[in-house]
Amino acid sequence: MTNKLEFYRCSVCGNVVQVLLDGEGELFCCGEAMELLKPKTTEGDMGEYHVPVFMHDDEKGTFIQVGKEPHPMTEEHHIEFIQFISEDKKCTGLHYFGSGEEPKMYLNKSVGNQKKCAVEMCNLHGLWKGENDEY
């Protein structure tokens, strides 16, 4: 069974897919079952920051930044995307990044005042998740 908004990776070709709706069965790519990616939530022994952090700017509003100090954004080591997810999973937003770009995603005011989370994908260190307990 697959669940809405889960991420899966192919161990052969590296494809990453996200489930849009709950479903039965198993996902396959390159003739093999895809691996469910479980986001990490704590830094542990890693030197760089990876956990998405919700922050606020008086002029631009709420935004998600990867790490309390921004994550490196080099060709070799960078954030591929940030995804915002509302607690009820009815509202999401996705922003892709290239090397050299700042790993920040500004949120639209229409997302409401419910608890939110964000996931991000680092090209070297995988999937990470952070939550906003403000609401």
Q: Stretch 112-135: mean pLDDT, rounded? A: 83
- Give the pair of three-digit tokens for residue 57: 């700017």
Structure-block tokens of residue 35? 């691996």
**pLDDT tens digit sequence for 27-74:** 999 999 999 999 998 766 554 678 999 988 888 888 999 988 888 899
* Average pLDDT for the chain: 88
In terms of residue numbers, what domain contains 12? 7-37
Q: Which residue has the tokens 């998405």?
A: 52
Same domain (yes/no): 126, 102: yes
Count the domains in the chain.
2
Q: How far is CA 53 from CA 80, 96, 100, 102, in A?
A: 16, 17, 19, 14
What are 135's strand-pairing partners? Answer: none
* Position 133 confidence tier, pLDDT thresholds 50, 70, 90: low
Determine the pLDDT at residue 111.
64
Find the range with the poorest average confidence among 17-26, 55-64, 76-85, 126-135.
126-135
Q: Is residue 47 part of a domain?
A: no
Give bridge partners of residue 95 from the DSSP assignment.
Answer: 82
* Whole-prediction pTM: 0.87
pLDDT of residue 47: 45
Instruction: Output the pLDDT for position 135.
Output: 43
- Give domain status of residue 43, yes or no: no
- 16 located within any domain: yes
- Between CA 135 and CA 16 the distance in angstroms is 31
